[in-house]
Structure 1
Amino acid sequence: MNVSLWIVAGTLAPVFLPARAMKLSRSPQQPTASGLGWAEDFDPGPVKTIGAIEGLAALGLILPPLVGVAQILTPTAGLGLVVLMLGAAVTHSRRAEFQMITVNVVLLALAAVVAWGRFGPHAF
């Protein structure tokens, strides 16, 4: 199970790191132009905050157990991604972007597996 949790965490991290970079490094109009229509509903501050949270969570899934320091951050990052994906699903449902809700639910489930596994029976 430990290997499975590493695989799931290793799958989630590369999904959220590029998303972080796009939200943090671009102007407020660029995320909307590149397919993130929800960004037009928010000021630049919250979009950048979401990007920062995604980046910290992606790093929190991999780095703490890799270096053996503060390993509680891994399940906490998974839990943070669960909350983030719940918010994303609500945002997409308000905008009637139902295809994106499927993506949010899949990412939420993967993050929940990491949080459950690392908080519970397969902690480091």
Structure 2
Amino acid sequence: MKERFERTMPYLIFIIVAYYSLPIILVAALRESAAGIYQALPALDICFSMGACFFFGKRHGGDWLMAIESSLVFLPCIYIFFNPTAWIYLPIIAFLSLLAVFIGTVFKNRFL
């Protein structure tokens, strides 16, 4: 279990940096339209999570632990950046991350 977690660590650090620094950077850069940023932010978070999970699956194969970790890292974002109605994004991120991991696994097996 420890080596499984250690394999996910670089990808998880990328996801954490993307989840927590992207809203701060976007609000600082575009002060006028902060409400529009928060509407597009969940889609950006899903894209970053899917990208990191795809490359994890392509390099290490299918592991459902990465999908669960990427969705659990999003949990504090709900309280920090969003309101409680953003709970719906948690299972969406988990499902799409799992899908991206397994698509990456297919690419690993097909295109060595």
TM bracket (short chain): 0.3 to 0.5
Give the alignment's TM-score, normalised by structure 1.
0.36
Greater helix percent: which structure?
2
Task: Pick 1 or 2: higher relative contact order, CA cutoff 8 A, min separation 6.
Answer: 2
